[in-house]
């Protein structure tokens, strides 16, 4: 069987790619499944200003391409497939891309997280018809239009600012008075004349016909509703871990994978790193750091088994 490896890495964001660099430099036979979003969340962001080593920042997509190239230099094989099923019941560990089976002695889960949605039916109805969770991907379609960004964290600030490159007006809608966002990001939004901040407002309904035409908002304090005419809504309300397929792996109440011994999970030989584990820091640099730890742990664990 050809599909046999020392280490299978699931996910190709900063955690997966860094694990790939370390594991393949340790002379292990490594395959990395790029998954549903090759390169991970950084590929849909703009400039990354806080990854050390880049005085002027670096484009998120470019950063991920460089990481992949670096892992490839040391021998990591990249496969553009999504892992749909796993079997961690014994050695060898098995993962499946559809019907195709791959085997390894160790697996590193680095599947990251995906954007959270509001949970409204109308949000699904108008998804890609004015509703989006990626300003970098879809901002261009809103030239000279009015849009809203939902959320009060750094992502919402970044998206709102970015969208002012295209839209004539951007509403930043947040459900509370206080913001989770860092001061520097919030200050940039406050200084941007194209952005109007609406606090204590939740989205009650996305309104539209063929496309989004507005939002019905509900005041989170008075319960009063109001309507806002606009062309697009961008969600920036956090993320949920992509861990559903790992049924036998222990997770916390929010679905994040739990480490048992260093970066190893409750399943022998199964390690985890990055945003599928970490809901506290969620940074490219911390994900990369944890990817490094997982690869070192996997490599040492493999040595102990032989
Ligand atoms: P956060 O968890 O920081 O913020 C999510 C925001 O969405 C909160 O304001 C939250 O409201 C709001 N929210 C959550 N659920 C709902 C809901 N159902 N309805 C309405 N609002 C909701 O996530 P981010 O994605 O903004 O940031 C994640 C991490 O990434 C952070 O550590 C951040 O610093 C980092 N980041 C850094 C960037 C940079 O440095 N360039 C850029 C982007 C992100 P509430 O406050 O009420 O809970």
Ligand 1 neighbour 175 (Cβ under 6 A): yes
CA–centroid distance for 68 within its chain: 17
List, as one string, the DSSP characters of 212-263: EEEEEEEETTT--EEEEE-SEEEE-S-EEE--TT-TTS-B-TTSPBPPSBTT
Ligand 1: which of 48, 50, 119, 153 to mutate, judged by most atoms within 8 Å of the beta carbon?
153
Q: Give Cα separations from 115 to 109, 219, 223, 297 (angstroms).
A: 18, 24, 27, 29
Question: What digits encode the pLDDT tens for the residues 68-123?
Answer: 999 999 999 999 999 999 999 999 999 999 999 999 999 999 999 998 999 999 99
Find the 151 Cα to ligand 1 centroid distance in Å.
6
CA of 116 from ligand 1 middle (Å) equals: 10
Query: Which residue out of 59, 82, 134, 219 is catalytically annotated?
Result: 134
* Model pLDDT for residues 242-261, shown as the tens digit of each residue: 999 999 999 999 999 999 99
Whole-angstrom distance, CA of residue 271 vs CA of residue 258: 10
134 is annotated as an active-site residue: yes
State in Å: Cα 180 to ligand 1 middle.
7
Cis peptide upstream of residue 247 (ω within 30 degrees of 0): no
Q: Is 276 annotated as catalytic?
A: no
The yes-or-no verdict on residue 272 having pLDDT over 80 is: yes
What pTM, to 2 d.p., does this model score? 0.80
> For ligand 1, is residue 275 a contact (CB within 6 Å)?
no
Using the predicted structure, report yes or no on whether residue 20 has a pLDDT greater than 80: yes
Contacts of 90 (CB under 8 A, 6+ apart): none
Sign (positive or negative) of CA dihedral 237, 238, 244, 248: negative
Name the helix (H) or strand (E) containing 131. strand 131-132
């Amino acid at each position: 069987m050809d599909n046999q490896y020392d280490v299978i890495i699931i996910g190709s964001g900063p955690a997966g790619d860094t694990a790939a660099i370390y594991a393949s430099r340790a002379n292990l036979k490594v395959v990395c499944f790029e998954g549903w979003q090759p390169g991970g969340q950084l590929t849909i962001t703009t400039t990354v200003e806080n990854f050390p080593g880049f005085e002027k920042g670096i484009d998120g997509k470019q950063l991920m391409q460089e990481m992949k190239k670096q892992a490839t230099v040391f021998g990591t094989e990249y496969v553009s497939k999504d892992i749909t099923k796993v079997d961690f019941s014994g050695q060898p560990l098995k993962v499946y891309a559809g019907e195709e089976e791959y085997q390894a002695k160790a697996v590193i889960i680095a599947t990251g997280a995906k954007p959270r949605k509001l949970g409204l039916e109308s949000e699904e109805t108008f998804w890609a018809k004015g509703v989006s969770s990626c300003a970098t991907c879809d901002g261009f379609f809103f030239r000279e239009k009015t849009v809203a960004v939902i959320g009060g964290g750094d992502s919402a600030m970044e998206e709102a600012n970015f969208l002012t490159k295209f839209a004539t007006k951007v509403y930043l809608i947040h459900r509370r008075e206080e913001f989770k966002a860092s001061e520097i990001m919030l200050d940039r939004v406050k200084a941007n004349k194209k952005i109007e901040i609406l606090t204590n407002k939740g989205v009650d309904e996305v309104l539209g016909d063929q496309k989004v035409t507005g939002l019905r908002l509900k005041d989170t304090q008075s319960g009063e509703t109001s309507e806002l005419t606009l062309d697009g809504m961008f969600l920036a309300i956090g993320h949920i871990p992509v861990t559903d397929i790992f049924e036998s792996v222990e997770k916390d109440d929010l679905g994040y994978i739990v480490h048992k011994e260093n970066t190893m999970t409750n399943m022998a030989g199964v390690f985890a790193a990055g945003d599928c584990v970490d809901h506290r820091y969620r940074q490219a640099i911390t994900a990369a750091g944890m990817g490094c730890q997982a690869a070192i742990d996997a490599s040492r664990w493999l040595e102990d088994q032989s």
